[in-house]
Structures are given as structure tokens and as C-alpha cells.
A and B are shown apart, each in its own frame.
Chain A
Amino acid sequence: MISSPFLAVNNAGRMDIQQENTLKKIILLVALWAIPATAMAHDILGFPRHKGVEPVVNKKYSSSCGECHYAYHPGLLPSRSWKKLLEPKSLENHFGDNAELSEKDRLEVLAFLTENASETTWHFKRSVKITQSIPEDVTPLRISEVPYIKKKHMEIPREMVKDNPKVRSLAQCNKCHTEAVEKGQFSRTNVDIPNFRNWADLID
């Protein structure tokens, strides 16, 4: 009846031995090519090799900024955001608080943050995605305004964050991301929302 356009499979539902051998060879070739090709893509094209953001630490940053909030990893924002946030004028009104620093401290913290900003840590997966998600003409001042991070937290209901007395704000990353501070890890496997231990069952 109908014969196959390229592999001439006969109508009785069999491929002959020659056809089987050809198919075997094709499959073997594809397999041989596919394995090194993906490995090479990661090495040569510079795909991010690490999870999370780079867990870098700076004493001055931790002591001056970490006093009031968790010292957000520099890889969570691009350098243009850090520059704007650390302008003397913006520090005077830092989301409603005065966070003024001495000029020496300010420059040290600024250098640390910009040198390790998201676009510089291309070998860390989350930093790459943060950088990629922000349009070039946009300078977010809040980490929660970064499109990638915004999308990741979109479906979380109000009562788990804002109305949760143990969280209060999306800005308190470390309240739920248990390995954020020390390891820079933000995987959903180590998220623990206070008062909502079964969050994974509750969100759709």
C-alpha cells in the first residue's frame, strides 16, 4: 500500500537487516556527536558553572550595611544599580532611612559591590539571569524589581510574605532562603517559609 518516503519499510511491518543497520549507525553517530558537543558548549561558550550567586564577603560592607539588613550579595544587582544606590544623596534617604557612610567607607563598599556585581560574575547562574532579565536602559534600585526575581516570586500569596509576621517583606531574602547568606544559594529545594513549611504543596 503506502510505502515510506525515505526509509523503505515494507508493508508487512518490518525493516530488513540492512535498514536496521543503517538506523543503528545513524543513532550511534548522533550519540557520539551529542555528548562532547554539550560538554564543549559549557566549557568554551562559558555557560555558568556555579549555582546561585557568588558568596563573596567584605568586612566593611557586612559591618556597615549588614547592621540593618542582610548584606545582599553584590551579584544580585548590576553595577549601575549599586552605583546609584550608593550615591551620597541616595544613601541619605535609603528607602526611608538615613544610611550615610563616611566617604572612605562609602568608596570601599562601592568598589566591593561594583567589582562583584551581577554582570561581572558570569560564572554564577543566578547573576547571569539577573543581568539578562534587566533591560539596558533600566536601573533597578530594589532586588525585588529585577524581572527575573519578580517572576520567580509572582505566585507567592500575600499571607506568606507581606502578611507573614516572620517575613514581612520580599526584601528579607534570608527569612525563607535558608542558604542565601552563607552560600549564596537560592534553590527552591532550600526554601523554608516560616509558618508555611508546606509551601510547596500550597502554591498551585
Chain B
Amino acid sequence: MQELINPDEEGMMKGSTPMKWDLFVRIFHWSLVVMVTLAYLSGDFDIEALHSWFGYVVMGLITARFIWGFIGSINARFRTFIYSPTETMAYFASMFRNAPKHYVSHNPAGALMVFMLLILLAMITLSGLVYEGWGEYEGPLWQMHVMISDQVGLLAKGIHRQLPEMLLFAVAMHVLGVIIATIQHKENFLRSMWYGHDKLKI
């Protein structure tokens, strides 16, 4: 595996670049940042009409990312960054020794955070969809006359109110993780997520 995912040593195809993150991953990431911010704020300030649209976009984005996790470029595929517990623990150990092992795709700690964020977002958008159909008489579930019991509706409402606070915490940890990794790996992760690679010139 390792030799396949190291772009610096791989023979390059004509016109290709030593990419860490493909265009899809980058557009996905920053769209998600913008849309989650908008969804959070519109929810907080009770701007309901916009909030559901932002929610649908977030849902679309994570669905697309899920699909891309199977068909995308190698660094973006889930199988590239699903690590065994042993490898994950070993990474954390090396991180605390301040000598972390380098990975071309997400490192095990970053991968944990990616899955955490994706699962949280999936749960938040799904609970929002259910609550919308049950309590707001709007959205696809309402349009399709899906029967939702009061119990399920209230549960969805509770989840939709609690998890965004957890998401906020996870986002803060994500940013902190990127800062630590940037220092430890001497790699410009922010630049990679914008340009696809962290080199000034290819």
C-alpha cells in the first residue's frame, strides 16, 4: 500500500501534480466549513427557513463525501485511513514522544477525528430531518407522509439540540489537532487543504 500512496516517489503521470487532497476533498472541506457555520448560526438565531436549506446542503455534502470515500483518489478513500487499534495507539504514543510517524493521507489521530465529525454530522442532519417532518410539518419526510411517532420526534428534537454542542467541541479539537500536527510534522496542512499540496512550487 505504502508505495502506492506516496506521491513524491511514485512515477507521475503527465499533467498530474503531487496531490495530497484532490479537488473534491478540498471543495468538500471548505463548503462544509461554510455550510456548518451557516447552519449553526441560522439554528441559533431561529432563522428556520434558511436553516433547513443549509441542513440539506450539509447532508448532501457528507453523502457525497461518503461516496467519494469509496471511489475517490487514494488519499481520500476510507480504506486508506482506517487503521487498526494497535496502529492508532502506536501513533498516539509516537505523538506524545514528539516523534510522530508521518502519513501521506490522514494520520490515525486525524482519521479518528474525521470519522467522529462525519458521524456527528450524519446524526445531526438525520435528526433534523426527522424533527422537521414530525414537528415542523415541512421537508421531505412530511411531503412523503412518513408517520413519525411523538416518541421518535421528541428523541430527534433532543438529539438535534444536544449534538451541535458536541460538534462545536469536536471542531475545536480538530483545529487544535491540525495545529499540533503542523508543528510536529513540519507540514503545512492548511495549505494542503487549500491548494492540494503543501509545496510552494510543484
Which A residues have a C-beta under 8 Å from some C-beta of B?
1, 4-7, 9-18, 20, 23-24, 27, 38, 47, 125, 128-129, 132-133, 148, 151-152, 154-155, 187-189, 204
> Chain B, interface size: which category?
35 or more
The answer to whether the Cβ of B161 comes within 8 Å of any Cβ in the partner chain is yes
The answer to whether the Cβ of B182 comes within 8 Å of any Cβ in the partner chain is no
Residues of B within 8 A of A151 (CB): 134-135, 150, 153
Given A12-B4, A14-B17, A188-B46, check contact A23 B24 (CB 8 Å): yes
- Nearest-neighbour CB distance to chain A for B117, whole angstroms, equals 21
- Identify which of A15, A18, A24, A129 contacts B22 (C-beta below 8 A): A15
- Nearest-neighbour CB distance to chain A for B170, whole angstroms, equals 20
In the complex, residue of chain B having the shortest beta-carbon distance to the beta carbon of A27: B27
- If A13-B75, A23-B23 are given as contacts, then 6 extra A-B residue pairs at C-beta distance below 8 Å, sorted by A number, are A13-B74, A14-B13, A14-B73, A15-B23, A16-B15, A204-B161
A14 contacts B162, C-beta separation under 8 Å: no
The answer to whether the Cβ of B140 comes within 8 Å of any Cβ in the partner chain is no
Residues of A within 8 A of B17 (CB): 14
- Identify which of B4, B13, B71, B138 contacts A1 (C-beta below 8 A): B4
Residues of B within 8 A of A1 (CB): 4, 74
- Identify which of A6, A24, A125, A189 contacts B71 (C-beta below 8 A): A6
Could you give, for residues 2-38 of chain B, a 1 whenever the CB lies within 8 Å of some chain A CB and a 0 otherwise? 0011010011111111111011100100000000000
Q: Which residues between 11 and 69 of chain B lie within 8 Å of chain A, taking CB atoms? A: 11-20, 22-24, 27, 45-46, 48-49, 53
Residues of A within 8 A of B12 (CB): 12, 14
- Nearest-neighbour CB distance to chain A for B140, whole angstroms, equals 14
Q: Report Cα–Cα, A7/B162, bound state, in Å.
A: 38
Nearest 7 A/B pairs, CB to CB: A14-B19, A12-B10, A14-B16, A9-B73, A13-B75, A13-B74, A132-B137
